[in-house]
Amino acid sequence: MHVVTGGAGFIGSNLVEGLNRRGISRILVVDHLEKADKFRNLADLDFLDYLEADSFLHLLQAGKLGKIEAIFHEGACSDTMATDGRYVMENNFAYSRTLFHWTQEHRVPFLYASSASVYGMTGRFSEERSAERPLNIYGFSKFQFDQYIRASWKQLQAPVHGFRYFNVYGPREFHKGRMASVALHFSRQYRRDGRVSLFAGSGGYPDGEQKRDFIHVNDVVDVNLHFFDQPCPGIYNLGTGKAQSFNDVALAVINSIEGGRGGHLRDLPALQACQAISYIPMPEALHGRYQSFTQANMVRLREAGYGRPFLEVGEGVPRYLQWLEENGD
C-alpha cells in the first residue's frame, strides 16, 4: 500500500492520480477535511482507504496498517501568512519528524514536500545552508525539517527525498483560496471582469515583470515518482530552472481563454493598452517580504538522474486552463 498524506490537497491528489495512471489503487489517503469540499479532488480517483491525519499517525505507530510501500508526505499547513507558530511547527515539523523516524525504523521510502520559501530574500536558490534564510514561520518549519534530515543522513535505513517546490500550478487547487496559483487567480479575474490585475513594479522590476519559477504540478508528480522508482536520497529543488514573469502568465491565461472562445490573440503591449492587463500597488504587508525573483538551481536534481524537460508557462498554463474548462473551476 502507498500512503499519500495531504492526499485530498493540491499536490497530494495529483500524486494519487499519478499512481492511478500506473494502475496503482492500493493507496491510503491521509488528510484533514475541515474544508469538506476538498473531497472533490478525490471524487474521480481510486484509492483503498481514507484516514484523518491524527488517526493515521496513531494507527501507524500501533502497527495496524499492514505493509506500506512508500510514504509520499505532502500534508502541511501551507499558509505563508500563518501567525500561529506552534500550530505550524506541530503540523509541518513535529508530524513530519515522527513519520520520518517511522519510515527509517521500518525501512520504507519517504518522499516529502519541502519549499523554496526556505531561501527567503537571499536571491540564491541552491540547496546549501548559506542560501537559506526563511522569512515566515511556514518557511522556517520547512527549513527546520530539512535541517533535521540533513543531520540524519549517515543513519538512513531507507531512501529519503525532500523536494523544494517553487511556484506550483495546475489542476486540483480550487480549495486553496488566496494560496492558489496566480494562473488560477488570473483565470478567475479575466472570466469575471475581462481584465487581470498584477502588482506594479517592485524590487527594481517594471510592472508585472517580477519573475518566479512556475512549475506545472504534473512535473512535480513525475519527479516524485521517478525518485520512488530510482532512489537517490537528497534534498532537491523542484522548479523548471527558468524564471518567467507574471506578465508571461497573464498573457498565457488571456490568450488561452480567448483562443478557446475563438477570439483574437494579442501580445502584451496590446493587452496593456486596452487595460486587459493592469497594475495595482503592492500591499503594505508584503513590502520587504516579497520575492521579486526566484529561479531554481536544477544542477543537483539533474545530476541525480532526472533528465526530462519541464513545461514552460506558454505550454503548461494552456494545459491547465483546458483542464479547468473540462472539469469546472
Catalytic annotation, pick one of 50, 87, 176, 290: 176
Provide the 3-class DSSP secondary structure of residue 95.
helix
Catalytic annotation, pick one of 112, 119, 138, 190: 138
Write out the H or E segment, with its range, that includes residue 87: helix 85-89
Quick check: is 290 catalytic?
Answer: no
Please provide residue 278's backbone torsions phi and psi, each rounded to the nearest 5 degrees.
-135, 175
> Could you give the CA distance from residue 18 to residue 298 in angstroms, rounded to a whole number?
23
- What residues contact residue 22 under an 8 Å CB cut-off, 6+ apart? 225
Residue owning grid cell 506552534:
86
Give the end-to-end CA distance of the chain in Å, rounded to a whole number.
31
Task: Provide the 8-state DSSP code for 205.
Answer: B
Residue owning grid cell 519549499:
115
> Could you give the CA distance from residue 35 to residue 39 in angstroms, rounded to a whole number?
9
Task: Provide the 8-state DSSP code for 242.
Answer: -
> Could you give the CA distance from residue 296 to residue 124 in angstroms, rounded to a whole number?
9
Task: Provide the 8-state DSSP code for 92.
Answer: I
Inter-residue contact 182 to 192 (CB < 8 Å): no
Task: Provide the 8-state DSSP code for 129.
Answer: G
- What residues contact residue 262 under an 8 Å CB cut-off, 6+ apart? none
Quick check: is 138 catalytic?
Answer: yes
> Could you give the CA distance from residue 237 to residue 164 in angstroms, rounded to a whole number?
5
Could you list the active site residues? 138, 176
